[in-house]
Amino acid sequence: MTMLHLFDLDGTLMFGSAAPVEISRQLGVGVEIAELERSFAARKITPHQFSEAVRELWAELTPAHVRAAFDGSPWLAGIRDVWQEIRERGDYCAVISLSPSFFVELLLEWGAHAAHGSVFPEVPFTRPVDLAGILTPEGKVGIADQLCARFGVSRVDCVAYGDSLTDAVLFEAVPRSVAVNARPYLAERATYVYEGRDLREAYQLVGVTRPEVEAS
């Protein structure tokens, strides 16, 4: 059976942080992004409102800031190893995140088959945010369905990895899920729960056996 592994980014592939936080750190606006993150987590603002606010906060953003944020982020260990193994098995791996696509798509360099985020204007910004391109939790399911069609699988062949309330809708849409360093709300709804800093360990919870083990 061909499988599609769907990974969240913020708080999942990244330990204890998020792309907006790491980008804002490069610009010296960590206090401001923390307040926006708290408002978003408390559902006081929507993904669209959050995106418009960070667009203004990042008025001085450059590609160099984005690359520095990516390279300096606290990634889980073993991401590239897991994605290489998924590829070698003939399965697929993709990232679906509410964070900006210009950050999320850098994970294609590490071996993801696809990477989808909220579509922001090109950096440096010269245009406002087109809210039609901003992902919502429900939109993650729509992207997952598009990926299923692209790779010739269905929802029953999917495994979702996430950490927060924004992943709950996708967890409900697929049969298997892994809560990675997750909030209690999501952990209670996951098939598997992982606490730690190595994606290889979370991946093994799904019960996928390494090819060399199968051959022995």
pLDDT, one tens digit per residue, over 33-49 is 999 999 998 999 999 99
Containing 23, the helix (H) or strand (E) segment is helix 19-27
pLDDT category at 213 given cuts 50, 70, 90 is: very low
**Would 54 be classed as within a structural domain?**
no
- pLDDT tens-digit map of 148-190: 999 999 999 999 999 999 999 999 999 999 999 999 999 999 9
Residue 214 token pair:
């199968």
Provide the domain limits for residue 174: 4-15+75-215
Of the pLDDT bands very low, low, confident and very high (cuts 50, 70, 90), residue 212 is very low
Count: domains in the chain: 1
User: Please, what is the Cα angle at 158 between 15 and 156, to 5 degrees?
Assistant: 150
pLDDT in tens, 6-16: 999 999 999 99
3-state secondary structure of 187: helix
**pLDDT for the residue numbered 210:** 38
Q: Is residue 67 part of a domain?
A: no
Structural domain includes residue 210: yes
Residue 96 has pLDDT above 60, yes or no: yes
Flag whether pLDDT at 214 surpasses 80. Answer: no
Percent of the chain with pLDDT over 90: 94
Inside any domain, residue 36:
no
Q: Does 46 map to a domain?
A: no
Q: What is the CATH number of the domain that holds 198?
A: 3.40.50.1000
Q: Is 33 part of any domain?
A: no
> In the numeric block, which tokens belong to residue 52?
């418009």
Task: Report yes or no on 47 lying in a domain.
Answer: no
Distance CA 148, CA 101 (A): 20
Q: What is the pTM of this model?
A: 0.93
